[in-house]
Structure 1
């Protein structure tokens, strides 16, 4: 998944980016509210982690702007612990409110919970036919056997499972695999086709299949 972190404290931001990248996400990091509003006007994200005390434009204003045109889940991460701030942020449209200092394990778990909730999933471990996918451990098990997947194949599988029954284009898949920092590594259409081909082989017998919709993209189905 591609996430946006808006945080002006460098040490904290770098630690969060490192942790979420280890979790398999592509993370864009911005340091002020005006940047955030600009980027959110053209780039879509699966989750936004937003500080309130930002330079140039306060996080509450960024949240208000985002809620005028998008339903993207938003986690507030801030040192403001007052009840008035919490109530205001939640009323404007925040989905979670986490007070600094924060344990990165809790931050990671809350991100997983928001991502699951946004796609109607209740648990971290999803069962699809004979396939079990544990998002918290980035572990894939098919018919009782653990299957090792490279990071990008794992991320593509996560995206397709999360959006099962909905077609995703090659560009949509590629966009969610890379942050601004590694856009020079943006996978080509041929690379996406290769990842899909490898996934199909590993999903054989799982009850999960990836179909190609010519000219549109890929869609994942689970056999009933």
Structure 2
């Protein structure tokens, strides 16, 4: 099992390398963002441990570039504990997020969990009727036509599509997509659904995103308005 650590603090990267190697992993280290991206693209790793603040190229840019061609599990390791940063990392395709300072045993447990997922697939494709969502490449098409979505819209569509046929409440959607506790006075979910429908449904005869009054929303090709 091979791990790539992209971390500019040499003391931290050395600590991680030593601990992971003692736990049975082969470990490569890059202390620079650009160097780390080259290794991530050219070599095969089971998990990548990625810092956000790096010289030459930050972790966001590295992950965005990596996800265009690879689905290697990524664990963000960073001192940034802002909710928006965590959401951004997950929306870009990150798999987990650990904040410094951390306990090595927790990092090791998270690495093992990611590694157990098995060999990454080059592409995860979700289909809902004539709608296709390429999760890893973050591309959406319907009837062969490309649909451009914002990161938040993509996260919302991905959630609905993965739960295809299952009605999700506004509380569930808000918790997953915005990492927030739902407030009945907030219409953020309704607004997001309306904008997503404008891109995914308005120009097509079959409406995929359905409203279940008093409950929530569902995406299903078998149901039409």
Superposed CA RMSD: 1.3
Say yes or no: does 1:82 pair with 2:82.
yes
- The answer to whether the 8 A contact 1:73-1:118 is kept is no
**Could you tell me which residue of structure 2 aligns to residue 17 of structure 1?**
17
Moved >2 Å (runs of 4+): 117-120
Q: Distance in 2 between the 1:27 and 1:7 partners? A: 12
Q: Which has the higher contact order (CA 8 A, sep 6+)?
A: 1
- The answer to whether the 8 A contact 2:4-2:29 is kept is yes
**Could you tell me which residue of structure 2 aligns to residue 34 of structure 1?**
34
- The answer to whether the 8 A contact 2:46-2:119 is kept is no
Q: Distance in 1 between the 2:76 and 2:49 partners? A: 6
- The answer to whether the 8 A contact 2:41-2:70 is kept is no
The number of residue pairs the alignment matches comes to: 120
**Larger Rg: 1 or 2?**
2
Q: Distance in 1 between the 2:43 and 2:28 partners? A: 10
Q: Distance in 2 between the 1:17 and 1:76 partners? A: 16
**Could you tell me which residue of structure 1 aligns to residue 99 of structure 2?**
99
- The answer to whether the 8 A contact 2:3-2:25 is kept is yes
- The answer to whether the 8 A contact 1:50-1:76 is kept is yes
Cα drift, residue 42 of structure 1: 1.3
Cα drift, residue 119 of structure 1: 5.7
**Could you tell me which residue of structure 1 aligns to residue 174 of structure 2?**
none
Cα drift, residue 58 of structure 1: 0.6
Gaps of 5+ in 2: 121-225
- The answer to whether the 8 A contact 2:6-2:30 is kept is yes
Cα drift, residue 76 of structure 1: 0.2
Q: Distance in 1 between the 2:73 and 2:7 partners? A: 17
Q: Distance in 2 between the 1:37 and 1:11 partners? A: 20
Q: Distance in 2 between the 1:12 and 1:68 partners? A: 28
Q: Deviations over 1:60-105 (max 9, x none)?
A: 0001011000010000000010011100000110000000001111
Say yes or no: does 1:5 pair with 2:5.
yes
Q: Distance in 2 between the 1:14 and 1:39 partners? A: 17
Structure 2 counterpart SS, 1:41? helix
Cα drift, residue 20 of structure 1: 0.3
- The answer to whether the 8 A contact 1:3-1:26 is kept is yes
Structure 1 counterpart SS, 2:63? helix
Q: Deviations over 1:123-143 (max 9, x none)?
A: xxxxxxxxxxxxxxxxxxxxx
Cα drift, residue 8 of structure 1: 0.6
Give the structure with the larger helix fraction.
1
> Superposed, which structure 2 residues align to 1:65-144 within 5 Å?
65-118=65-118
